[in-house]
């Protein structure tokens, strides 16, 4: 049984006219007749008595019309529901993001997202582990720093953030004075483990604006962790020198709890991206999140301040 044939029969029965049915379906009158004849052939029963002046349903035709009208209505409702679903964000949205992005950046964004799209359910994982989006079923991840290339993933650039080496005044008061990168070797360092098990290097720009790199493994004592919040707690407890994004430690610099260990070196910038599995068609819930990250004016202003640290960086450099 062909659905197009059933639709032609329903319209013909409702209008009582092959001509009106043909006009409604964009067919010729003879094409409508052929569809109904084909339907009758497939059902092995006559549905209509046709004359040059009228169409009359047989008893079998009346029974079939009653059921087929209900089926067509359900199909139309299903189509409308599907169209609404593919155009309106809905369902569960699984997000992975580094711990340090929670309070300063993403928490307010997620609240706004849920206000805009209340039919979406959020599952947010704050972890400094690089999750496998495809294997673990995540819809998106926010990644900071350089990320490994993958044919399975697409990415959108969000901006740049600056990194800085900091410590408490209390810690620095009892250690060797730091003038150059090499002096860091005489200090306790708080090192961040990367996704592949290595230790992330500390990168700076010198006075000639050339990039210089220091390996924290060279420290006199080194504490390792893959959790930024834990490392920050150690730093605030006077346990060593920490290298972190400026937006993550800005409030502590402003309050004086932390100080810039190497003010003669400029903070270096690194990229931040939103990453998602490559697909021909993004789901509305993922598209809506990407659009909010990239285009929402309130969030863009917050993102620019936090990522680039421009206002604070300028203020801090003037202060020092």
CATH of domain 162-268: 3.40.190.290
Identify the pLDDT of residue 194.
Answer: 65
What are the domain boundaries of the chain?
Answer: 3-82, 91-160+270-309, 162-268
Window from 22-31, 59-68, 189-198 with minimum mean pLDDT: 189-198
* Model pTM score: 0.59
For residue 243, give the 3-state DSSP assignment: strand
Mean pLDDT of 232-245: 95
When the candidates are 3.40.190.10, 3.90.1570.10, 3.10.105.10, 3.40.50.720, the CATH number that belongs to 91-160+270-309 is 3.40.190.10
Residues paired with 203 in a beta bridge? 213
Residue 257's Cβ-count burial label (10 Å; 0-12, 13-18, 19+) is middle
Model pLDDT for residues 187-197, shown as the tens digit of each residue: 999 998 865 55
pLDDT at 318: 40
Q: For residue range 273-317, list pLDDT tens digits in order.
A: 889 987 666 888 998 999 888 887 766 766 665 555 444 444 444
150, pLDDT greater than 60: yes
Task: From 112, 104, 97, select the one nearest 288 (Cα to Cα).
Answer: 112
The total number of residues shown for the chain amounts to: 320
Half-sphere exposure in the Cβ direction for 114 (13 Å, CA) = 12
For the chain, what is the mean pLDDT? 84
pLDDT of 84 above 70: no
User: What pLDDT score was predicted for residue 250?
Assistant: 84
């Amino acid at each position: 049984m062909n659905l197009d044939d059933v639709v032609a029969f329903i319209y013909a029965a409702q209008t009582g006219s092959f001509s009106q049915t043909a006009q409604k379906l964009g067919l010729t009158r003879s094409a409508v007749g052929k569809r109904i004849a084909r339907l009758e052939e497939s059902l092995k029963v006559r549905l209509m008595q046709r004359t040059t002046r009228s169409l009359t349903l047989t008893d079998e035709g009346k029974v079939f019309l009653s059921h087929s009208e209900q089926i067509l209505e359900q199909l139309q409702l299903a189509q409308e529901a599907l169209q609404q679903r593919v155009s309106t964000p809905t369902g569960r949205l699984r997000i992975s993001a580094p711990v340090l992005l929670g309070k300063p950046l993403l928490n307010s964004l997620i609240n706004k997202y849920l206000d805009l799209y209340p039919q979406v359910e959020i599952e947010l994982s704050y972890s400094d582990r690089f999750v496998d989006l495809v294997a673990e079923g995540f819809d998106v991840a926010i990644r900071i720093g350089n990320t490994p290339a993958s044919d399975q993933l697409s990415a959108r650039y969000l901006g740049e953030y600056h990194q800085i080496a900091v410590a408490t005044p209390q810690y620095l008061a009892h250690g060797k004075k730091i003038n150059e990168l090499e002096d860091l070797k005489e200090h306790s360092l708080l090192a961040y483990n990367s996704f592949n098990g290595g230790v992330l290097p500390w990168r700076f720009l010198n006075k000639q604006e050339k990039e210089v790199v220091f390996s924290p493994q060279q420290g006199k004592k080194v504490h390792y962790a893959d959790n930024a919040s834990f490392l920050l707690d150690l730093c605030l407890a006077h346990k060593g020198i920490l290298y972190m994004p400026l937006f993550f430690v800005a409030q502590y610099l402003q309050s004086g709890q932390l100080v810039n260990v190497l003010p003669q070196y400029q903070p270096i910038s690194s990229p931040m991206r939103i990453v998602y599995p490559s697909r021909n068609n993004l789901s509305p819930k993922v598209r809506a999140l990407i659009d909010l990250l990239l285009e929402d004016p309130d969030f863009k202003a917050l993102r620019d301040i936090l990522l680039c640290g421009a206002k604070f960086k300028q203020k801090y450099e003037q202060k020092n």
